[in-house]
Amino acid sequence: MNKRAVGRVRNKWAAAALAAALTVSGVAVGVSSASAAPVGASAIAGAIVAPPAQAAKKVMVTTADLNLRKSPSTKAKILTTLKKGTKVTVIGSKSSWRKVTAGKRTGWVSGKFLAAPPAKTSVKIASIVPVEGSTVISGKQVRVSGSASKNLAGKKLTVKVKVGSGWQTLSAKPKVTSAGKFTFTVKAIGIGKTTYRVVFAATKTGKRLAASSASRAVTVWKWLPLAGQRIVDSEAAWGWWEPNPSVVTMAGTTYRDGLLGRSRGGRVTWSEFNTSFQCRTFTALAGADDSSSGAAVGTSFASVDGSDVASSLVDLKLGKPTRITVDLTDVMRLRLSVFGSSSTAVAAAWGDARILCKQDVNPRD
């Protein structure tokens, strides 16, 4: 093949390559192989035009219930209605209209009702501890501490506590510090597992901030009147009675949530209450009721799961009562007993008798 023929082949190849490149770039051309001039690689590269750049996708939210239409016109078919606050991705625009995707649908909405999504926020409860002591007790103060995102500095939080199946809003309104911390005190309520929640409500004006919340549960213990618990077993002797709920009086002071029992002649009367491993402490003022005879002699004491508690033994004499405290940790049953050693009945009283529990174990009907 002579040099002229080789040149014609090369020109045909170059023309074909240029046509293909221009077709890819969206430009239709016609090239005559007969009249084609020699084409270099630089000419081909310069002829390839890049497709127009796509607008950057942008996530926005609807500021009202908004119709998603098939085309950018108020007369266009409505594909669906987007609820206020729906996130959409903007993929195009035409005048005041925006082409968006929402889930699996694509359509047009008015750009007047789109806004940038609010900034994310966060809150976290780090601890809930008693202000005094080591046990969270219903009616006593607890300190709640936590942290929040820096964009909540200076903002106030709402505090709630779960009561039953609903939430009750408390009066506390802690403010987030510049360091992103918050601390507040509230009165513990309820019994057993109690959940507290801090909430930041979304802002609707100024710098828009998204809502956030955090919850944390704590075990709340509660003092329950022992007189309010059901007696599960008892024994009386010689017609005298076992300890029962009653108003009692000792040294002239009346106690409404009390228990009263009588015994004589070397006999013991007693009553038992279930604590079912749900209680921690029993406490009461123990002594002789003012109705007891000055000649009566006896003692009262407490037992846990069949074992007498020495520190609960009280000589029953008229006068000021004695405070007794019994550990109920891992105890199934508490017994209160009266022993009357004289022929005259002695009246044993327990005033302000209470048990500290995380569950109202066996309440009376």
> Is a pLDDT exceeding 80 seen at residue 280?
yes
Top-confidence residue, 264 or 205: 264
Neighbours of 225 (CB within 10 A): 17
Confidence grade of residue 237 (pLDDT, cut at 50, 70, 90) = confident
Separate counts of helices (H) and strands (E) for the chain: 2, 25
Q: Which of 45-54, 161-170, 179-188, 308-317 has the lowest mean pLDDT?
A: 45-54
Contacts with 45 (C-beta within 8 Å, 6 or more apart), sequence order: none
DSSP sequence for 110-152: EGGGEEPPPBP--EEEEEEEESSSSS-BTTSEEEEEEEE-GGG
Confidence grade of residue 1 (pLDDT, cut at 50, 70, 90) = very low
What is the mean pLDDT of the segment spanning 132-136?
96
Confidence grade of residue 189 (pLDDT, cut at 50, 70, 90) = very high
330-339 pLDDT, tens digit each: 999 999 999 9
Q: Which residues of 302-324 are buried (b: 16+ CB within 10 A; e: fewer)?
A: bbbeeeebeebbbebbbeebbeb
Residue 70: per-residue pLDDT:
95
Mean pLDDT of the chain: 87
> Is a pLDDT exceeding 70 seen at residue 36?
no
Q: What is the pTM of this model?
A: 0.74
80-129 pLDDT, tens digit each: 999 998 999 999 999 999 999 999 999 999 999 998 888 999 999 999 99
Confidence grade of residue 21 (pLDDT, cut at 50, 70, 90) = very low
Confidence grade of residue 208 (pLDDT, cut at 50, 70, 90) = confident
Give the whole-angstrom CA distance, residue 231 versus residue 266.
Answer: 23
